[in-house]
Every structure is written in C-alpha cells, then in structure tokens.
Amino acid sequence: MLSLRVFSVAAFAVAAVATVVDAGKVICYYDGWSYHREGVAKTSNITEAATLCDQLYYGFYKINSDYELETSYKYPYVKGANIATANNMKAINPNLKVLLVVGGNVPNKKSDRALSVVETPEKRTTFINSVHKTIMDYNYDGVDLGWQWPESFREEDKPIMETGFISSVKGLFGLVKEKFREEQSVYREGFSALVRELKAVLKPDNKILSISALPHVNTTAYFDLANLKEMTDQFVLHTYDYRTPQYFPKLADYSAPLHFKNASRRHPSDNVEATVAQWLSAGVPSEKLIMSIPTFGRAWEVFPSSEELDIGRAIESLSHPPCQAQSAAEAGTYTKTKGLVTYYEVCPHLVNYSPNQAASSDSPAASNVSHTTLLHRVTDAEKRLGSYCFRVPGLEKGVWISYEEPETAAVKAAFAKLKKLGGVAVVDLSLDDFRGMCTGSAFPILKAVKQGIA
C-alpha cells in the first residue's frame, strides 16, 4: 500500500525548491567497506579528516529485492563500527553534513534493481520510504543517488575494448538492458518522478538531495536536467576514469586529465573541463556542480616480457602516452584490485625521471630503468593532463600508471574555484594516504584540495 505522504506528493506533482548550498565546499567520500580491508588498507581511524570535509558521503548502500535499502547487518557498511566512525567525525566537526550514498561507482551485480525502482509509483514509494527511514534512524543529513545506469561508449571506442568486457556488460544488466534501450524515455521520466517525490519527502526535514553522474554514462539520455536542476541540491560529476584498463586494456593513457590535448589521439570530451562545460551548457547552475578528484590511479601492464626488449624504445613509448598496453596491471599490495592503485601504494616507489635521460638502451639511465622496482615519475609542466609513472620490465613486470597526487589535485581544485563551482568531491578517503605513509602527514591529497579551493 502506498505511503500517504509519498502518494500525495506523486498525485499533486509538487516540485520542491532546492536547498541553498554554499559554494566552495569539500565533499569527502568514505567507502564503508574499507573498514574491513586487511593490514595497512584498513581504515580504522579517519577522524583527522573531519575538519577538512564539509560533507561526508557514506556508502555504498544497495537496493534489495523488495526495492528497499539493504540494511542487513551482514553488510559491512551498516555495522556499528562504520556508523560510529561517521558519527565521531560529526562530533569533531558539528558543521559536517553526512549523506548516505545509494549505488555509487562500485561493482554491483544487482544494479538493474535501480532501473526497476523507477518503473512504477509503487516501487518508488517503497524505495523512498526506506531511504527516509534510514536517514532518520541513522541521523543522516541527506542522500546521494549514484544510479548505475547502463554504461555507454562511442562507436570509435568499441574496437579498443575486449570482447569479454562487452559480454560481461551484457551479463551485468541482463535482459533489462535491452528493454532499457527500447524504453529509455520511460526510465528518464521515472527517474525524474523519483527525484521529485523524494525531494518533497526530504524537504520538511531540511535534508539534502544529491545526484551523482558516474563515469561512462550518457547523462543526457538518462537525466532530464531541465527538471532535475530545479529539484536537486547538488550534482556530483565523477570526473575520472575516462581511460581505465577495464574498458581500454590495450591503451594506457591519462585516466582523469583536466584539459584536452592531442586531438589526433584523444577524444575532446574525455577530460574534466569538457564534462564541466557540458553541464554548464545544459543550464545547471555552477554552484550546484561538484567536481570529483580521485585519490587513486589506474594501472596497465606493458610489454609482455623483458627478453630482447629494446629499453630505449620502450622508454620512448612509455614517455608519450597514450601507449600500447597488455592488460590491467596486477592487484596492488594493499587494495588487491587489478588495475587500481592508491596514492600510498604508488608514492614510496616514485623517483623523478626525465624521458630525455635515456635516449637508447646503451645509456646508464636506461640500464637502471630496466633493472629496478622503482616507478619513474613524469610530471606535467603545462598542468593540463596530470602526472604518470612507469616501469619497464626488469626485476618486475612493466607498468604504466596514471595517478593523482597532491600537486595535481590542488590544480584541479583551483580550476573548480575559477569556474565558481559548488565545490569538489574527494573520492575517496580510504584511498588517500590516510596513515601519512608518503610524507608523514595524513590525507595529503585531501589537504591539497582543501587548500586549492580555499
């Protein structure tokens, strides 16, 4: 049976006026699952970040088969220790707003439930009542909808991707994906209805409603921005993962470039500036846009073997991305996820390196590069694309890594300030150097972001 509160909202189609949101804020994502990682990666204490964050996005909640939030205690993110961490941060910083995140940019084999939720008023009502109850039970200040819409790719990108990945996407969304293609407008309208009804339920309690635009999603197809921009307090643009080894295993390149460069080898929309411009041109107020900055990097394995490898040519290739790759790099020491590395997994191995050091395999520099476990750091003097590091095969497999570091994060935060955006989102705290392993100071990327947008 429909909740009277939600039904009245749907019947009269009341469009709520968005909450006023201050500009220049810092949003910190916190993955509750990270508390259950092992060893160094276990986020047992992140309260030092409390005074650096204006909002904490806590997740990632899933949707169960009854179209409610999954709050069973068998799921780590709703166990006491995780909720206590968020509440402790709020006690340290009374002005901190904590929002729960539904979905988000994490693997979810049941993401089709998010599509089903918007199909009927009954399903939307059930979901909205569950969200509202969870917010009130755990004293959240709002909710972020990180809807995992079916991902989309340009025609020119498809030959780059492995057939196996295409198959996995089809398996992920199953039959509902084909239906979604045929009835795209139905889901678009259903999501707008969901946001309208949810906002009206949250408004009396002055709760925040946020929407995330995840990577590789055609937001113009799924988001009716003309309506959503009036009903939504803020939009988080997940401006990263333009290139990843999951989607582009044979092409290593900058994962989250700030600006566009090299028209012959890159698509002009695959950068932060282009994404922000797209949303601004759609009429979304700049103060409602939050630009994401990742605390992680993407890593590719390069060159299958060091046998008879021309070191000089290898260095030349790796020094001028995009470059040929083999696959996703092996899992990191602590995070244990193929193709992903945290800043604290990268920083201990970095050494500054100029590609001009090694012109041939006969040079001492080239010889040192080929027989080391270090990662050779190459910075971007133009501050357009970001930093990367590489290792040619030697004692260990060759890798090429696009990663975020404090210097590049500060530049991006300053860009968000220049564009008068509502703020930046650091994704996420558990992948920043929260133990201070790199410089002795915890959360170096978050601190650089805070300084850059101040």
Secondary structure (3-state) at 306: coil
Per-residue pLDDT at 169 exceeds 60: no
Which pLDDT tens digit goes with each residue over 108-143? 666 789 999 999 999 999 999 999 999 998 899 999
Angle of CA points 93, 96, 99, to nearest 5°: 145
Residue 367's pLDDT band, with cuts at 50, 70 and 90, is very low
CA atoms of 432 and 426, how far apart (whole Å): 9
Which pLDDT tens digit goes with each residue over 261-288? 988 789 999 999 999 999 999 999 999 9
62 — phi, psi (to 5°)? -110, 170
Per-residue pLDDT at 1 exceeds 50: no
Least confident of 13-17, 65-69, 336-340, 345-349: 13-17
Which pLDDT tens digit goes with each residue over 368-399? 444 467 898 999 999 999 999 999 887 788 99
Residues 429-453 have a mean pLDDT of 94
Per-residue pLDDT at 30 exceeds 80: yes
Alpha-carbon dihedral angle through residues 222, 62, 207, 449, given to the nearest 10 degrees: -80
Alpha-carbon dihedral angle through residues 45, 404, 365, 304, given to the nearest 10 degrees: 90
Per-residue pLDDT at 63 exceeds 70: yes
Per-residue pLDDT at 177 exceeds 60: no
Which pLDDT tens digit goes with each residue over 281-338? 999 999 999 999 999 999 999 987 666 677 778 888 899 999 999 999 999 888 889 9
**Sign of the Cα pseudo-torsion (115, 116, 118, 124, in order):** negative
| Residue partners of 293: CB distance under 8 A and separation at least 6 | 239, 240, 256, 404, 409, 412, 413, 424, 425, 426, 427, 445, 449
List, in sequence order, every residue forming a beta bridge with 378; answer none if it has no partner.
388
Composition of the chain by helix, strand, coil, percent to 5: 40, 20, 40
pLDDT at site 185 = 83
Q: Omega of the bond prior to 428 within 30 degrees of 0, cis? A: yes
- What are 204's two structure tokens? 């009396």
Secondary structure (3-state) at 335: coil
Residue 182's pLDDT band, with cuts at 50, 70 and 90, is low
Which of 326, 259, 328, 255 is CA-nearest to residue 297?
A: 255
pLDDT at site 332 = 84
Which pLDDT tens digit goes with each residue over 31-62? 888 877 888 888 877 889 999 999 999 988 99
List, in sequence order, every residue forming a beta bridge with 153; answer none if it has no partner.
none
Residues 349-357 have a mean pLDDT of 68
- Mean pLDDT over the full length of the chain: 84
Alpha-carbon dihedral angle through residues 273, 244, 159, 268, given to the nearest 10 degrees: 10
Q: Are 249 and 326 in contact (CB under 8 A)?
A: yes
Q: Of residues 82 and 297, which shows the higher confidence score?
A: 297
